[in-house]
Amino acid sequence: MKKQNLVVVGSGSTYTIGMIMSLIEEKKHFPLRTITFYDTNAERQEKVAKATEVILKDKYPELESFTYTTDKKEAFTGADFAFVQIRTGGLAMREKDEQISLRHGAVGQETCGPGGMAYGLRSIGDMIDVVNDVRKYAPDAWILNYTNPAAIVAEALRREFPDDEKILNICDMPAAIMVSYAKILGKEIWDLVPEYFGLNHFGWFTDIYDKEGNRLTDDIKRAIKDDGFLPEDAEIVNDPSWIKTFKQVETMLTDFPDYLPNTYLQYYLYPSQMVEKEDVKNTRARQVINGREKRVHELCDQLISDGTSENAELEVDIHGCYMIRVAASLAYNTGDTFIVIVENNGIISNLQDDAMVEVPAALTSGGPKPFAVGEIPTFEKGLIEGQLAFEKLVVDAWYEKDYKKLLQALTLNRTVVDAPRARKILDDLIEENKDYWPELSSK
Ligand SMILES: NC(=O)c1ccc[n+]([C@@H]2O[C@H](COP(=O)([O-])OP(=O)(O)OC[C@H]3O[C@@H](n4cnc5c(N)ncnc54)[C@H](O)[C@@H]3O)[C@@H](O)[C@H]2O)c1
Ligand SMILES: O=P(O)(O)OC[C@H]1O[C@H](O[C@H]2[C@H](O)[C@@H](O)[C@@H](O)O[C@@H]2CO)[C@H](O)[C@@H](O)[C@@H]1O
Ligand SMILES: [Mn+2]
Say which of 15, 68, 146, 264 is annotated catalytic.
264
- What pLDDT, on the 0 to 100 scale, is given for residue 442? 73
- Residues 5 and 68: their CA atoms lie apart, in Å, by 13
Q: In which order are the strands placed within the sheet that holds 260-261?
A: 192-199, 202-210, 260-261
User: Could you say which of 2.60.40.420, 3.40.50.720, 3.40.50.12780, 3.50.50.60 is the CATH number of the domain covering 4-170+287-324?
Assistant: 3.40.50.720
- What pLDDT, on the 0 to 100 scale, is given for residue 9? 99
Q: What average pLDDT does the structure give for the chain?
A: 98
Task: Choose the residue to mutate in 173, 201, 244 for probing ligand 2, maximizing ligand atoms within 8 Å of C-beta.
Answer: 173
Please tell me the pTM assigned to this model.
Answer: 0.98
Is residue 16 helix, strand or coil?
A: helix
The protein residue with its alpha carbon nearest to ligand 1, atom 29, reads 86
C-alpha angle 403-404-409 in degrees, rounded to nearest 5: 100
State pLDDT tens for residues 354-402: 999 999 999 999 999 999 999 999 999 999 999 999 999 999 999 999 9
How buried is 159 (Cβ within 10 angstroms: 0-12 exposed, 13-18 middle, 19+ buried)?
middle
332 tagged catalytic: no
Sequence-ordered strand ranges (E) for 221-266: 260-261
163 tagged catalytic: no
Cβ(319) – ligand 1 distance below 6 Å: yes
| Helix-helix angle 42-59:16-25, to 10 degrees | 20
User: Which residues of the chain are under the pLDDT cut of 50?
Assistant: none
Could you give the ipTM of this predicted complex?
A: 0.98
How many CB atoms are located within 10 Å of the residue 151 CB? Answer: 31
Residues sharing a CB contact under 8 Å with residue 162, sequence separation 6 or more, in sequence order: none
**Is 143:127 a contact under the CB 8 Å cutoff?**
no
Ligand nearest to the CA of 169: 1
Cβ(380) – ligand 2 distance below 6 Å: no
Q: How many CA atoms lie within 13 A of 326 on its CB side?
A: 31
Q: Given CA atoms 247, 248, 251, 256 in this order, what sign does their dihedral have? A: negative
Nearest to 260 by CA among 361, 355, 178, 341: 178
| Helix-helix angle 318-332:16-25, to 10 degrees | 50
Bind-site residues for Mn(2+): 171, 201
Ligand nearest to the CA of 154: 1
- What pLDDT, on the 0 to 100 scale, is given for residue 190? 97
Q: How many CA atoms lie within 13 A of 37 on its CB side?
A: 28
The protein residue with its alpha carbon nearest to ligand 1, atom 31, reads 126
State pLDDT tens for residues 200-234: 999 999 999 999 999 999 999 999 999 999 999 99
Question: What's the 87 CA to ligand 1 centre distance in angstroms?
Answer: 4
Question: What's the 170 CA to ligand 3 centre distance in angstroms?
Answer: 7
